[in-house]
Amino acid sequence: MSPTPLTEQIAGVLGARIINGELEAGEVLRLELLGTEFGVSRTVVREAVKVLESHNLVTSRRRVGVRVLPATDWNALSPFVLQHQLAGPYRLDQLQAISQLRRGVEPVAAALAAERASADQRTELVDSATAMEVANGDLDSYLDHDIRFHSTLLQASANPLMMALSGIVTEVLTARHHYELMPPEPTAAARRLHVEVARAVAAGDAGTAERAMREIVEEAWSGVTEISGRRAAAER
């Protein structure tokens, strides 16, 4: 059974408290107190706790209760966990860690896609990259097509572990947009490289697809560090 909106809302609040350090590792959550705080039954609180357990944020045991787990136990690849980390004070550190992961995964995924993608996936990549060029000044539209591009690429790798990273990449792309960590207008290099990857995959050129995808990830991280650096300098 899927969590109700109320359950998800409470899990989101508690998840943020854990990930931001307001609730520390080892701390025990009292269901009755949480029920009073949120004005809900203990049943609803238990369902919210199950959501947190599914991301390894807490553990529940008899006679011990619901205990907050240390960060080393969290499911680091959970979009739920990542979303709250990107909303917190260590956003840049998290973006850097994911950028390093992407550098190791997405170029290889692009090479595999050139070898394994279906005809529909090759068309989808070209269409998405072309739409990104057209959407240039419309960042919301650009983001939608960018997410579709990267999700399709990972799916086209036909590698189950790479395919499972689609949610992570989506969260990162969304966070860059939401927290204004990308240029107000996508760079010509970014648009060109997406087209280059799409065409290389469509042509079955694994080497070009891998190289261009590596440049995409590196260009994106350079943009994040440049913008965050300017903000830090302005705040001094």
Instruction: Tell me the per-residue pLDDT of 54-102, one tens digit each, with 9 for 90 and over.
Output: 999 999 988 888 999 999 999 999 999 999 999 888 888 888 889 899 9
CA–CA distance, 95 with 11 (Å, rounded to integer): 23
CATH code for position 161: 1.20.120.530
Residue 1 has pLDDT above 80, yes or no: no
pTM: 0.85
Q: Answer yes or no: do 209 and 137 share one domain.
A: yes
Exposed, middle or buried by CB within 10 Å (0-12, 13-18, 19+), for 81?
Answer: buried
Which of 73, 89, 114 lies at the terminal end of a domain, its last residue? 73
The CATH number of the domain where 64 resides is what?
1.10.10.10
Residue 229 confidence (pLDDT): 76
Cα gap 102→57, rounded to integer Å: 24
Which residue range(s) make up the domain with 198?
79-235
Task: Return the number of other C-beta atoms located less than 10 Å from residue 215's C-beta.
Answer: 17
Whether residue 159 is found in the same domain as residue 215: yes
What integer pLDDT is reported at residue 146 of this predicted model? 97
pLDDT at 204 over 70: yes
Strands in 44-193 per DSSP E: 58-61, 65-68
Query: Residue 29 — pLDDT band, cuts 50, 70, 90?
Result: very high
* Those residues with Cβ within 8 angstroms of residue 158's Cβ, 6 or more apart along the chain or in another chain: 112, 116
